[in-house]
């Protein structure tokens, strides 16, 4: 009798836990990074958003909607705007610096790469006006303009990483990672990681362009894959949002095409950072508590991939 009661309690606990797990709202979904920090699976992309007033208005909406991860970059020239906006917005939203997660990226420029990377990180922190950055990425495995088509950036990447590891040891940055790295570049980094393995690799990722081998490799190595251009980017969004297969699945599931595209990534444990200037879209993009049936996942996974949207060169040595 006793034992039966015990088993019932265990069973109930399991059921309740599983149900609670299923009901975690998408905005609260987190992954644990190698440092132990937890990072939201859905972040807010700020590429193309500039100016203090515009940034403040948009981030005000994003924080109200529930976003806590802000994806920025020196390349977007908006680190300072974000810093100023947050000074006003954090108190307004009853938040502190610790409640939000700031990602930024080392711009692909010659005078920031290699031995200059540590200084570049410090300058980024100054622009934000904060004490630290949560996640700092090497934006690109090389810099522009390419000095020569066959420039070998291998040694420079290694030096860059070494500088970022120093920044992490000193607490300037909590986590470090990379962006736009392919398997070869990741392998090279993992072979000689100076004691810190990359927390994430942020790459272009959507039904028209997904590198499944890269995802498999990242999962095996414990490097989280984070998607950009999940909705096709600002200039090319109709390509994905109006794709017949995406629209059909959206109608069937009573979701928007954007929700289908974001959920398609999350359901494969790929993190997302959609950008939006529209409050309704911001809400929609966090409202992802549904499941795409396996058959529909297959349809999206097996579409003929039109290829990448970003203009980054394909091959960087
Ligand atoms: N690491 C890299 O090299 C790299 C490169 C590119 C981008 N990124 C990062 O990735 C982030 C996302 O990229 P992105 O903003 O260029 O492109 P995106 O997220 O693929 O698409 C943004 C576009 O989709 C629209 N949109 C958003 N939600 C929608 C919804 N629910 N329904 C309909 N339309 C919707 C937005 O319009 P509205 O404003 O009207 O909502 C906007 O024009 C960037 O902000 C940046 O942080 C990183
Ligand atoms: C690039 O340089 C590294 C050493 O810094 C070397 O190991 C690698 O083979 C080189 N790659 C190519 C394609 O030349
Ligand atoms: C994306 O948009 C740019 C700018 O409008 C255009 O040049 C490019 O061809 C588009 N790419 C795709 C894949 O549609």
The verdict on residue 52 lying in a domain is yes
Q: Which residues of the chain have pLDDT under 70?
A: 1-23
Structure tokens at 141: 């495995």
The verdict on residue 152 lying in a domain is yes
**pLDDT score, position 9:** 45
SS (H, E, C) 86-138: HHHHHHHCCCCHHHCEEEEEECCECCCCHHHHHHHHHHHHHHHCCCCEEEEEE
Distance 188 CA to ligand 2 centre (A): 10
Distance 152 CA to ligand 2 centre (A): 6
Task: Please name the residue whose Cα sits nearest to atom 13 of ligand 3.
Answer: 309
Distance 209 CA to ligand 3 centre (A): 14
Structure tokens at 62: 């994003």
The verdict on residue 6 lying in a domain is no
Q: What is the pLDDT of residues 173-220, one digit of tens each?
A: 999 999 999 999 999 999 999 999 999 999 999 999 999 999 999 999
**pLDDT score, position 21:** 44
The verdict on residue 289 lying in a domain is no
Query: What CATH number does residue 170 fall under?
Result: 3.20.20.100
User: Which position among 2, 6, 7, 76 bears the catalytic label?
Assistant: 76
Query: Mutate which of 152, 162, 187 to test ligand 2's pocket (most atoms within 8 Å of Cβ)?
Result: 152
The verdict on residue 317 lying in a domain is no
The question of whether 132 is a catalytic residue gets the answer no
* Separation CA 163–CA 119 (nearest Å): 9
The verdict on residue 216 lying in a domain is yes
The verdict on residue 229 lying in a domain is yes
The parent domain of residue 93 ranges over 33-235+269-281
**pLDDT score, position 237:** 83
Q: How many domains does the chain have?
A: 1
The verdict on residue 113 lying in a domain is yes
**pLDDT score, position 23:** 60
């Amino acid at each position: 009798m006793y034992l039966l009661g015990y088993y019932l309690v265990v069973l109930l606990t399991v059921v309740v836990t599983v149900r609670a797990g299923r009901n975690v709202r998408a905005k609260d979904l987190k992954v644990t990074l190698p440092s132990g920090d937890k990072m939201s699976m859905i972040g807010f992309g700020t590429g193309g958003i500039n100016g203090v007033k515009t940034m403040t208005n948009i981030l005000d909406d994003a924080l109200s909607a529930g976003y806590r991860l802000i994806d920025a970059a020196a390349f977007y020239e908006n680190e300072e705007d974000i810093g100023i906006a947050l000074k006003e917005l954090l108190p307004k939203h009853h938040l502190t610096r610790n409640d939000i997660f700031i990602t930024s990226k080392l711009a692909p420029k010659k005078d920031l790469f290699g031995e200059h990377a540590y200084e570049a990180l410090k300058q980024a922190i100054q622009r934000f006006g904060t004490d630290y950055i949560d996640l700092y990425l090497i934006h690109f495995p090389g810099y522009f303009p390419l000095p020569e088509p066959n420039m070998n950036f291998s040694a420079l990447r290694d030096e860059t990483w070494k500088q970022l590891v120093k920044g992490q040891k000193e607490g300037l940055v909590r986590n470090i990672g990379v962006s736009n790295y392919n398997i070869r570049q990741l392998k090279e980094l993992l072979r000689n990681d100076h004691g810190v393995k990359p927390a994430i690799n942020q790459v272009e990722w959507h039904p028209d362009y997904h590198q499944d081998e890269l995802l498999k490799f990242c999962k095996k190595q414990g490097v989280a894959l984070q998607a950009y251009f999940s909705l096709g980017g600002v200039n090319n969004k109709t390509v994905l949002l109006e794709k017949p297969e995406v629209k059909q699945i959206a109608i069937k599931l009573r979701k928007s095409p954007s929700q289908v595209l974001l959920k398609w990534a999350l359901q494969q444990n790929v993190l997302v950072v959609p950008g939006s200037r529209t409050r309704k879209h911001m809400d929609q993009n966090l409202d992802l508590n549904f499941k795409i049936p396996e058959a529909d996942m297959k349809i999206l996974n097996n579409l003929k991939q039109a290829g990448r949207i970003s203009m980054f060169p394909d091959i960087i040595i």
